[in-house]
Amino acid sequence: MNERKKRNAEAEVALIRLEELTPFPAEELDQEMFKYRHVMQFVWCQEEPQNMGAWSFVAPRFKNFLNVDLQLVSQPPLGPSAVGNGAAHQYWSKHVINSCFDV
């Protein structure tokens, strides 16, 4: 939300935070997303790498329950070990946030 304010993007970017994944809140999401029925693009933003966050769980549910194709913004998939580097973490955190607004 801070980044949205900093970019003066309150009118262009809506943020919907998913607090629980199970049971999947399809009805609640449908009601919330109805407010944005004119929107053509929805982005799933996660700080974790693609293969470590909720992406693989939520993407098919958004498609099946809500008929929404999400675009993913995250770190690239990681191998079996984490980066473990503070500078790399800061870089990817900033990259993910910026990418959410630059889609």
According to DSSP, the residues that pair with 44 across neighbouring strands are: 72
Question: Which H helix or E strand runs over 63?
Answer: helix 55-66
**Sign (positive/negative) of CA torsion 86, 59, 27, 14?**
positive
Q: Measure Cα distances from 77 to 18, 31, 82 in Å.
A: 22, 32, 10
Task: Report domain 2-102's class.
Answer: alpha beta
Instruction: Compute the distance between CA of residue 76 and CA of residue 73 in angstroms, rounded to an integer.
Output: 9
- pLDDT tens by residue, 25-70: 999 999 999 998 888 889 999 988 888 889 999 999 999 999 999 9
Domain boundaries, the chain: 2-102
Q: For the full predicted model, state whether its pTM sits above 0.95.
A: no
Q: What are the pLDDT digits (tens) for 57-66? A: 999 999 999 9
